[in-house]
Structure 1
Amino acid sequence: MDSDNISISLGELADILKAELHGDRDCRIERVATLQSASPGSISFLANHRYRSHLAKTRASAVILSPADQPECPVFSLALENPYLGYAKVASLLNSVPVLPSGIHPTAWVSTKATIHETAWVGAQAVIEDGVSIGVNTYIGAGCVVSSQTIVGDYSQLVANVALCRNTVIGKRVLIHPGVVIGGDGFGIANNNGIWVKIPQLGSVRVGDDVEIGANTTIDRGALEDTVIEDGVKIDNQVQVGHNVYIGAHTAIAGCVAIAGSVRIGKRCVVGGATAIAGHLNIADDVYLTGASQVAKSIPKSGIYSSWIPIQESLVWRKNVVRLNQLDEMARRIKALEKSQVGID
């Protein structure tokens, strides 16, 4: 396939996805689009019932959907149990990825004590310090700073203006978006009669393979032991990961989450946006925290957890807050009433 004009047949896609094909195997697909914006040559998808009303009017050449929705589809289709995953795979196949350059930009500063693979790229105004190792086909974008003794694994990308502080270890095929800081000091301070004394942060950060870290996320170095991000973790934009945190493999964390120090999160967890997790807690494997949850105790069992009030009309919310503040007094009155009813038939 031409990398600038990718095209693939619907039959090929059906074979790759192991999907049930309804339509012409030879139909050519060139791009992915929404049901509303699709045109001939596009493939769309239906993975959320909220968009089912758009199916009847779509102009897509084909739609990826569930077997239950297939009878309502007016165009060719690929039916499978997880249409969203199918969409993700097709989008990857049709995504034209530019060939990355290799070499060192003339404005970059690279230590003579660093090891840069000949296939890697170091972009404009980037800084590579002593003892750094940059792997095969790794991309260090403009303005990045890779501090001393840091390792960046093969096929990883630092898009632009990424800071990797000393002794950080980045695995293979890691994608780090602009503005990320990995390995900055954790928030370690001790109180000395009202004066805060800084605690040296002596650990580092270890990031596994196939991790993605969103823009302006910060991951602090450990105080004594390393902060660890395991393989396959996906972190959204503007997430704060405190020192000594451990995030298990294939966990996904949405934007604006705050994780305090020494939290341990298990494998395959999902943390909804704007969730806050207090320090020194343990979260089991396969835990789903809905958005804006406030986690103040450990969660030892897998499942779905929530701790925030869904949106309400402002007047209703104000009344409920007043009642919430009266709960303690109401509990005392109920207890007194129960005592007064003892012995009454």
Structure 2
Amino acid sequence: MGYSLRDIAEELGAQVHGDENCRIDHVATLAGAGPGGISFLANRRYRPQLLTTRASAVILEAEFLSSCPVAALVVSNPYLGYARVAGLLVPEQPVLAGVHPSAYVSDRATVDASAWIGPQAVVEGQARVGARSHIGPGCVIDRGATIGDDCTLKANVTICHDVRIGDRALLHPGVVIGADGFGIANDGGVWVKVPQLGAVVIADDVEIGANTTIDRGALADTVIEEGVKLDNLIQIGHNVRIGAHTAIAAGVAIGGSATIGKRCTIGGAASVAGHLEIVDDVHLTATSAVPKSITEPGLYSSGMPIQDNRTWRRNVVRMRQLDEMAKRLKDLEKRLDEG
């Protein structure tokens, strides 16, 4: 059935250019869209695709309106507009209620009557699952763990003992919350395990990507504040604190007891050493390595961008010579000063 472009514009607070009565029933890319589809332009590198799109409408900024051959919705943030339209046109499936026959729920657990416990899932004693939450197949909710209202745990998520998760969390397949942190003490060359006695506390509206792991605290808790968005395959060490509305891309590793501020962004494969602090509103580009605290907001980068192999090999050789070159330069400057 879909919606009229006028209805969508009202939902977004957008300006309509073109046929406001055209029907929109799906979202699509600029290159792949056809009749009934709505797309968006958030990156100018895709402007050539805008010129030839067959979408019924496109969400874009005003500066690209003259290049659009179809109806348009003009907004200040096209990507955000697309996200809201996609949610409108592709609503979430209704949550089932009940317990699958193959699931195990301890008689000492508390599961809201409106929640769903899927096939082969396990809910241990003293655990709690809130209203309208969906626990997918193969999930494990260990003793004393708490899942808030309206949460979704996809397949094979593990929530270890005493972890506390707020409302509206979305955890993708393979997530592990509350495994032991990497705590070991050396006794004459032999490693002795340090008991990990804290838990993990996750606030409301947090999303955690597939196979991401968040370790429990050694004494105090590991804390993920509200609205944090974590991509796939992230490792978060024990006693880390991540501030509200921070977003972290795939492959990032965060050492134990690091504190990351609010509204930060961390690019893919970056690494953050333990026991440091990053203030609010810091943005790290991909593969950045952070060995010490960052005390000022801003954009930070490290690492060497890709080069052709011949140039890279030549530069590596030159970098090995930098110390000797610096000594020779210092000696030359000294002789010139004396001279």
TM-score (structure 1 length as normaliser): 0.97
Which residue in the other structure is 2:35 paired with? 40
**Counterpart among 235, 240, 246 of residue 241 in structure 2:** 246
Residue in structure 1 matching 2:333, options 321, 338, 342:
338
Match of 2:106 among 94, 106, 111: 111
Does residue 299 of structure 2 align to residue 274 of structure 1?
no
What corresponds to 2:138 in structure 1?
143
Q: Match of 2:94?
A: 99
Q: CA deviation at 1:18?
A: 1.5
Cα displacement (A) at 1:96: 3.3
Residue by residue, what CA displacement relative to the aligned partner does 1:118-151 show, whole Å, maximum 9, x if unpaired? Answer: 0001111111111001000001111001001000
Alignment partner, residue 226 of structure 1: 221
Q: Distance in 1 between matches of 2:311 and 2:276?
A: 34
SS state at 1:299 partner:
coil
Q: Does 2:320 align with 1:322?
A: no
* Equivalent residue number for residue 56 of structure 1: 51
> Could you say which residue in structure 2 is the equivalent of 1:289?
284
| CA displacement at 1:324 relative to structure 2 | 1.5
CA distance in 2, matches of 1:119, 1:89: 27
CA root-mean-square deviation: 0.9
Offset, 1:27? 1.2
Aligned to 2:79: 84
Say whether 1:306 aligns with 2:301: yes
Tell me the CA shift for residue 115 of structure 1: 0.3
1:227 maps to a residue whose letter is T
Aligned AA for 1:322?
V
How far does residue 343 in structure 1 lie from its aligned partner after superposition? Answer: 3.4
Q: Give, in whole Å, the separation in 1 of the partners of 2:291 and 2:276.
A: 8
Instruction: Name the CA distance, whole Å, in 1 between partners of 2:203 and 2:14.
Output: 32
Q: Does residue 160 in structure 1 map to residue 155 in structure 2?
A: yes
Structure 2 Cα separation of the partners of residues 309 and 335 of structure 1? 26
SS at match of 2:52: coil
SS of the residue corresponding to residue 191 of structure 1 reads strand
CA distance in 2, matches of 1:285, 1:14: 34
**Residue 181 of structure 1: aligned partner:** 176
Q: Distance in 2 between matches of 1:54 and 1:222?
A: 49
1:74 corresponds in structure 2 to: 69
The alpha carbon displacement at 1:24 in A equals: 1.7
- Number of residue pairs matched by the alignment: 339
Secondary structure of the equivalent of 1:85?
A: helix
Q: How does 1:169-208 map to 2 (within 5 A)?
A: 169-208=164-203
User: Which residue pairs with 2:210 in the alignment?
Assistant: 215
Matching residue's letter, 2:306: I
Find the aligned partners of 2:23 and 2:276 in 1 and give their Cα distance: 51
Q: Which residue number corresponds to residue 9 of structure 2?
A: 14
| Corresponding residue number in structure 1 for 2:115 | 120
**Aligned residues with identical type, % of pairs:** 58
CA distance in 1, matches of 2:127, 2:288: 39
Structure 1 CA distance for aligned equivalents of residues 338 and 173 of structure 2? 70
Write the deviation string for residues 173-227 of structure 1: whole angstroms up to 9, x where unpaired. 0000010100000000111111111100000000011100000000000001100
Output the CA distance in 1 between the equivalents of 2:99 and 2:246: 35
3-state SS of the aligned residue for 1:69? Answer: helix
- State the distance in 1 between where 2:178 and 2:5 align: 46
The CA distance in 2 between the partners of 1:334 and 1:313, in whole Å, is 29
Is 2:1 the partner of 1:26?
no
- Structure 2 CA distance for aligned equivalents of residues 190 and 63 of structure 1: 59
CA distance in 1, matches of 2:77, 2:320: 44
| TM-aligned CA deviation for residue 331 of structure 1 | 1.3
Residue 260 of structure 2 is matched in structure 1 by 265
d(CA) in 1 for partners of 2:322, 2:196: 43
TM-score (norm 2): 0.99
Unaligned runs of 5+ in 2: none
Structure 1, unpaired ranges of 5+: none
Cα distance in 2 for residues equivalent to 1:95 and 1:230? 28
| Separation of aligned partners in 1, 2:88 and 2:121 | 31
Three-state SS of the structure 2 residue aligned to 1:273 is coil
Q: Deviations over 1:66-116 (max 9, x none)?
A: 110111111000111111111111111111322121101111111110000
